[in-house]
Amino acid sequence: MNLIRIKKVFYQNDTLFIFILMLLLSGVVTDNFFTVNNISNLIRQSAPIGLISMGMLLVILIGGIDLSVGSVVAMIGVAFSLLSYEVYFPVAVILSIALGALVGALSGYLIAFKKMASFIATLAMMTMVRGVGYLLSKGAPVSVGSHSSDILVLGAGDFLGIPYAAFLLLIVFVILFVLLKYNVLGRIILAIGSNEEAVRLSGIAVKRTKFMVYVICSILTALGALLIVGRTGVGTPNIGIGLELDAIAAVVIGGASLFGGRGSVLNTLLGVFILSMIGNVMNLLDITSYLQQIIKGMIIIVAVLFQKNN
């Protein structure tokens, strides 16, 4: 009887258990995992992909997919770096986010109003936006200019030893958590993923909601891009290749259904940390990056198989 109850608790929180398991494993197999430096580094590394994955989660919740996020990261990085020579920090930030929103608006328009498959629309956006990034930067990385060096503080600084990036991640997390749990928009997003036609026949503006979700995803992606620029000090046009797959992997490890309607922000973030811990530990263990890719893929398969069997 007790065993059944334990099993149930375990299955309901499987992502959390995998996360804890990974945490313990990381502590055991390495000497320097649980150091302030490593943990703060881990959070700094995870924050951008964390923001992007949460955006991806919203898209996946409505039964869509956004393949353009990696390209958006590159283009926004380049755009911000170029802007940083021209305008002051807050203006550059606002313009960068607006540019991100524009990309999302375009994908959202094609998908929601022109009924294009999200896979196709965002695939096209992926190559276009990547091209824009290369065009703007003429193919070379662009360092951050003097007007907006504040970005470096955002990327590398901390408050009470906690990186600013962690605060940003936390704020977005709380907003999305509340949105999905206590807000009408969140309810509608979940319902669209569950049965889009039924939402339409309930008299709800489905198209507008879908459009908004793609805009939100791209805005979060732009925020992630800014964190990356802040950490590295450069906007790189060839960064973020394959990033969309990492984000999708994090969402899936977080137990979301790729058909939509099911998923949680908390589990998505745990998924992000599980993935980055795998990378982090293997780096600490000096495992070559080629082998890392293989192991990462295997862990994704195991994690998802495990959830499937529940």
Amino acid at 86: E
| Strand (E) or helix (H) holding 5 | helix 2-12
- Assess contact for 26 and 281: CB atoms under 8 A: yes
Report the b/e string of 124-149 with b at 16+ CB within 10 A.
bbbeebbebbbebbeeebbebbebbe
| Strand (E) or helix (H) holding 163 | strand 162-163
Interface with other proteins, residue 202, by CB under 8 A: yes
Q: How far is the CB of 24 from other proteins (least distance, A)?
A: 33
Stretch that binds other proteins, among 52-60, 201-209, 216-224, 280-288 (CB under 8 A): 201-209
3-state secondary structure 87-150: CCHHHHHHHHHHHHHHHHHHHHHHHHHCCCCHHHHHHHHHHHHHHHHHHHHCCCCEECCHHHCH
Interface with other proteins, residue 198, by CB under 8 A: yes
| Strand (E) or helix (H) holding 172 | helix 164-182
Interface with other proteins, residue 25, by CB under 8 A: no
Measured between alpha carbons, how far is 227 from 222 in angstroms, rounded to an integer?
9
Interface with other proteins, residue 308, by CB under 8 A: no
Near other proteins by CB under 8 A: residue from 70, 104, 254, 261:
261
Q: How far is the CB of 96 from other proteins (least distance, A)?
A: 26
Near other proteins by CB under 8 A: residue from 125, 132, 188, 228:
188
Within 13 Å of residue 305, how many CA atoms lie on the same side as its CB?
A: 6
Q: How far is the CB of 170 from other proteins (least distance, A)?
A: 20
Interface with other proteins, residue 199, by CB under 8 A: yes
Near other proteins by CB under 8 A: residue from 262, 287, 296, 299:
262
Measured between alpha carbons, how far is 138 from 145 in angstroms, rounded to an integer?
17
Alpha-carbon dihedral 251, 255, 260, 261, rounded to 10 degrees: -120
Which of 159/182 has CB closer to other proteins?
A: 182
Which of 158/196 has CB closer to other proteins?
A: 196
Could you tell me which residues come within 8 angstroms of residue 148 by beta carbon, excluding any fewer than 6 positions away? 80, 83, 84, 87, 88, 89, 92, 93
Interface with other proteins, residue 12, by CB under 8 A: no
Rg, the chain, Cα only: 20
Q: How far is the CB of 190 from other proteins (least distance, A)?
A: 6
Stretch that binds other proteins, among 65-73, 81-89, 190-198, 276-284 (CB under 8 A): 190-198
Q: How far is the CB of 42 from other proteins (least distance, A)?
A: 33
Task: Please work out the total of residues on this chain that contact other proteins, with binding judged by CB under 8 A.
Answer: 22
Q: Looking at residues 148 to 187 of the shown chain, list those that interact with other proteins (rule: CB under 8 A).
A: 178, 182-185, 187
The SS3 assignment for 162 reads: strand
Stretch that binds other proteins, among 147-155, 193-201, 211-219, 285-293 (CB under 8 A): 193-201
Near other proteins by CB under 8 A: residue from 23, 204, 266, 304:
204
Binding site for other proteins (CB under 8 A): 178, 182-185, 187-188, 190-191, 194-195, 197-205, 261-262
